[in-house]
């Protein structure tokens, strides 16, 4: 009888220890690189690059979708965007080059130049 009680206590203790496993450490936010993520222009327009898809929205609280499209990363620092403006109802091409990990310089097919800054 005493042996059974010891076995039960050992079994319960091992179950208790098994339930106390620790979770692996996951960084709060992994460093972002490349084009993926959210970028702001000087007018407060938010551009999002996500898995080959591109969109721009206002940041005035309405989150109005302004443009959609797709992008192709042609090198680690250069992306080509096909942009469909929902406002103007036009399609245009934009080339963007990463100047740094937080700044991107872009030129539209019409020659307009603008800079995007990574949103935090």
Say how far apart CA 107 and CA 57 lie, in whole Å: 19
B/e letters for 3-38, b = 16+ CB within 10 Å, e = fewer, are: eeeeeeeeeeeeeeeeeeeeeeeeeeeeeeeebeee
pLDDT band at 44 (very low <50, low <70, confident <90, very high): very high
Task: Output the pLDDT for position 90.
Answer: 95
Q: Determine which of 5-19, 74-88, 99-113 has the lowest per-residue pLDDT on average.
A: 5-19
pLDDT band at 9 (very low <50, low <70, confident <90, very high): very low
Task: Output the pLDDT for position 33.
Answer: 60
> What DSSP state is assigned to residue 28?
S
Task: Output the pLDDT for position 5.
Answer: 39
Say how far apart CA 13 and CA 119 lie, in whole Å: 50
Provide the residue ranges of all domains of the chain, joining segments of one domain with +: 37-118
pTM over 0.85: no
Instruction: Tell whether the model's pLDDT for residue 55 goes beyond 80.
Output: yes
Q: Which two tokens stand for residue 81?
A: 């965007």
Task: Output the pLDDT for position 50.
Answer: 96
């Amino acid at each position: 009888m005493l042996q059974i009680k010891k076995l039960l206590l050992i079994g319960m203790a091992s179950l208790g220890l098994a339930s106390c496993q620790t979770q692996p450490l996951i960084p709060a936010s992994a460093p972002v690189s490349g084009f993926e993520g959210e970028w702001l222009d000087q007018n407060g327009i938010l551009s999002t690059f996500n898995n080959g898809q591109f969109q721009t929205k206002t940041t005035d609280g309405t989150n109005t979708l302004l443009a959609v499209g797709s992008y192709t990363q042609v090198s680690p620092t250069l992306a080509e965007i096909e942009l469909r403006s929902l406002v103007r109802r036009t399609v245009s091409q934009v080339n963007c080059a990463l100047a740094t990990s937080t700044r991107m310089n872009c030129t539209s097919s019409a020659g307009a130049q603008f800079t995007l800054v990574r949103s935090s």
